[in-house]
Amino acid sequence: MDIKIKRALISVSDKTGVVEFAKELTAMGAVIISTGGTAKTLTHAGLKVTSIDAVTGFPEMMDGRVKTLHPKIHGGLLALRDKPDHAAAMKQHNIEPIDLVCVNLYPFEQTVAKPGCLFEEAIENIDIGGPSMVRSSAKNHLYVTIVTSPAQYPQVLAELKAKNGSTGLELRKHLAREAFELTASYDAAISNYLSAQAGEIFPQRLSVSLRKDQELRYGENPHQKGAFYRLPDAKEVSVGTANLLAGGTPISFNNLMDANAAFELVKEFDEPAAVVVKHMNPCGCAVDTDIMKAYEKAYLGDVVSAFGGIVAINQNINKDLATVIMESYARFGKARGAAGFFAEVIIAPSYDADAVQTIRTLKEWGQRVRLMETGPISRDVVDRGQRDIRCIVGGLLVQERDLVGWQPEKLTYPTKTKPTPQQMEDLRIAWLTAKHVKSNTITLVRDKRLVGVGAGQMNRVESGMIAVKLAGDLAEGAALGSDAFFPFPDNVENAARARIACVIQPGGSKKDDEVVACADKHGIAMVFTGTRHFYH
């Protein structure tokens, strides 16, 4: 059923394109009703506008808090026009139907995102009349067209022109769905803000407000559909806020998961650092004073697993570094047994223009690689209020993010042998890397380079054996990191056989004394962190 647009109510905070939209409606014969600042904007543009108080018979009052909450507005929106008693009520109370409502809401999210936003300012930017009109119009989409964003103007105008000033039911249904999505998201933002102000980490009802950024080719597997939704108020530098540079194959669900794993690890380091991730686990991680050297060391961590991996860098990528990344196999990997190299994603704070050109043209695979640019990494902007949410069938598990990093002031040294300053550097990297590896986790680091990883095994001994096998001769003198305590001395015995020099682990086992005694027997230095980093 098509509905002719005879009367349109326009009241917008975002005035982008509203004058042009109103002019088109007027040209098609619609009467424009408007409020406050919108009415001034339209009048100034030379449009004839009927003020809201001329419709309601009441002036706008209380600093604009009360203007559209009136039966002559909501009666005109909610009336079922084919229902005799509704039509009789409209006639009795002199209510005229409103066919189109164009409303966007007070900018609550933008307001609270501003540094130094006062609570009172936030409250004043909670829209009441706007969501009420949106909901009324969307509920009665059988008769009313609800427009909630300037992005919808072209679609609506195209339909009006095609249908001689009318809209069809399918469009009205579509706009109504988007309207209810908007009000749900808006209420969620308010709820989350008020919960945060009250210090509520886990409110009784959890509201999550997300905006679809893009549909993906598929989910983890081709038979699963997938999409990426962005947190609208995210401020922390991350994969979620990164820009995808032009070119490359469209990014996938797995690319985003792996890129997040890589970038969150590389963010742990202040000094130049590089990370290579494959299937959510780092196969390479290194730090150095020279980012070129850091990347080389990270790639050499596991040249076989690096094939088809994710490269994360915490520095700008210039042409020289881009060249080294693209030529990784020829420069370093061929002699180490790699079959080849390409990266699915390269993520960094920034790229020089000639670096992007080098990546795109130096090797054939460079045309396909996704390049993500995040902007400068800042430890001063960490979203501590953002929750870590995991899905299980039938519900969600919600927790605080694990933001505990390197805490030298909390370390204890239970063994007779103490780590050297150089070993402490390797222990730091082993510990921070272990935090980002799937449990059970053992990491081996030597000379500031990850040389072995045991990830996701059902027992910690097996993880240790895998890490030692991958490290080979480089296990000798290495630092071992464990994401959780050793329940038995067996991992220490295995470490001693591999001539590992030092160990960092949380401590806290009932058999800590036996574990420490074993380390003392073999002259291994051990450090307790007092913190566990399970990562399931």
Domain layout of the chain by residue ranges: 3-197, 239-373, 408-528
* Residues 301 and 276 sit within 8 Å (Cβ to Cβ): yes
Q: Is 174 a catalytic residue?
A: no
3-state secondary structure 157-181: HHHHHHCCCEECHHHHHHHHHHHHH
Residues 47 and 49: their CA atoms lie apart, in Å, by: 6
pLDDT of residue 107: 87
pLDDT of residue 64: 66
Q: Which helix (H) or strand (E) holds 452?
A: strand 449-455
User: What CATH topology corresponds to 239-373?
Assistant: Cytidine Deaminase; domain 2 (3.40.140)
pLDDT of residue 430: 98
Q: What is the pTM of this model?
A: 0.88
CA 446 and chain centroid, separation:
33
Q: Is 139 a catalytic residue?
A: yes
pLDDT of residue 12: 93
Name the catalytic one among 4, 15, 139, 334.
139
Please give the chain's pLDDT, 536 residues, in tens: 899 999 999 999 999 999 999 999 999 999 999 988 899 999 999 999 988 888 877 777 677 677 677 888 888 898 998 889 998 888 888 889 999 999 998 888 888 888 888 999 999 888 888 899 999 999 999 999 999 999 999 999 999 999 999 999 999 999 999 999 999 999 999 998 899 899 888 888 888 888 899 999 999 999 999 999 998 778 899 999 999 999 999 999 999 999 999 999 999 999 999 999 999 999 999 999 999 999 999 999 999 999 999 999 999 999 999 999 999 999 998 888 899 999 999 999 999 999 999 999 999 999 999 999 999 998 888 887 788 999 999 999 999 999 999 999 999 999 999 999 999 999 999 999 999 999 999 999 999 999 999 999 999 999 999 999 999 999 999 999 999 999 999 999 999 999 999 999 999 999 999 999 999 999 999 999 999 999 99
pLDDT of residue 373: 98
End-to-end CA distance of the chain: 53
* Residues 293 and 343 sit within 8 Å (Cβ to Cβ): no
User: Which of 422, 411, 419, 430 is CA-nearest to residue 481?
Assistant: 430
CA 156 and chain centroid, separation:
31
Where do the H-state alpha helices sit in 62-168? 71-78, 84-92, 108-113, 119-124, 129-139, 153-162
- CATH superfamily to which 408-528 belongs: AICAR transformylase, duplication domain (3.40.140.20)
Same fold, 239-373 and 408-528: yes
pLDDT of residue 67: 67
* Residues 193 and 122 sit within 8 Å (Cβ to Cβ): yes
The CATH class of 3-197 is alpha beta
Name the catalytic one among 15, 279, 293, 319.
279
* Residues 311 and 262 sit within 8 Å (Cβ to Cβ): yes
pLDDT of residue 53: 81
